[in-house]
Amino acid sequence: MSAPVAAESYVVGVEALSFAPHYSVDKQGHYQGFARELLDLFAADSGVELVYRPLPVNQLLPALLEGRVDFKYPDSDLWAQEQKAGTGISYSKPVVDYVDGVLVAPSRVGQPVSSLKRLSIVEGWTPWAYEQQVENQQVKLSYSPDLRKMIQQALKKDTDGAYFNIVVATHYLDNIRARPGALVFDPKLPHTRGSFHLSTIKHPELIQRFDRFLLEHSAEVSALKNKYQVEANLDSEFMGMEQWKVDFLKRQKAKAAAGD
């Protein structure tokens, strides 16, 4: 009998970061969340093996450029453009959409951008929507080492708001900090929309397979997005709102419509 053929094996460089529900790394170093489940589904469908290597965010791109990992997730052609110039990175189709914006105390919702003087932000993040205000010194950034400390700063009112991924910050407040609604996204303030992609230098052919997987298994991908709520209400007036409140407001709207 011939020996079984070993599956193609690839190393995916991922962020060693608590970024639930998108992804996180537990105390044992296991990568988990929406991204893990999606990439595992792709691996099973394609007959390949994916090995996840969590790295500090600032080490992830160098690991890709130096060939120490085969793929990077998440990535975007808009990020670190100078470092990537001439490297020939291939990007997948969008995997998941996101919104980065400012969460404020409910009493501050609707105030003009000029009222924002100090903004909490996690080290390594760039508040693209506020570059001009920062450059003109209208907004001062207050850096924190992680999401927990950034949220703490904003809750203590040491700053006027916190700039982060809206879904992740809301998930943290609702499920981990257990302070739902203590800070809420203000959609009238400047915010940025974008997408996460899978990237590679060495294996563009596998990116093409991944793109086909996203297309052919769109129903399963959508089910995973719903399971983890990674795009929860990104295209509605409920963006950044706790789920119980969304459900309540939808019921109220349905009652009002039925009354008409």
Query: Within a domain: residue 19?
Result: yes
- pLDDT reported for residue 215: 97
**Which H/E stretch holds residue 96?**
strand 96-104
**Residue 166 sits in the same domain as residue 38:** no
Q: Which positions ≥6 away from 84 have C-beta within 8 Å?
A: 61, 65, 77
Query: Within a domain: residue 84?
Result: yes
Q: Which two tokens stand for residue 21?
A: 């529900």
How many structural domains does the chain have? 2
Residue 232 in contact with residue 166, Cβ under 8 Å? Answer: no
**Residue 63 sits in the same domain as residue 180:** no
Per residue in 121-138, pLDDT (tens digit) is: 998 888 988 999 999 999
- pLDDT reported for residue 245: 52
Query: Within a domain: residue 251?
Result: no
**Residue 145 sits in the same domain as residue 179:** yes
The pTM of the full predicted model, rounded to 2 decimals, is 0.84
CATH number assigned to the domain comprising residue 132: 3.40.190.10
- pLDDT reported for residue 180: 86
Residue 20 in contact with residue 168, Cβ under 8 Å? Answer: yes
**Residue 16 sits in the same domain as residue 29:** yes
Per residue in 90-109, pLDDT (tens digit) is: 999 999 999 999 999 999 99
- pLDDT reported for residue 240: 47
Range of the domain at 181: 99-192
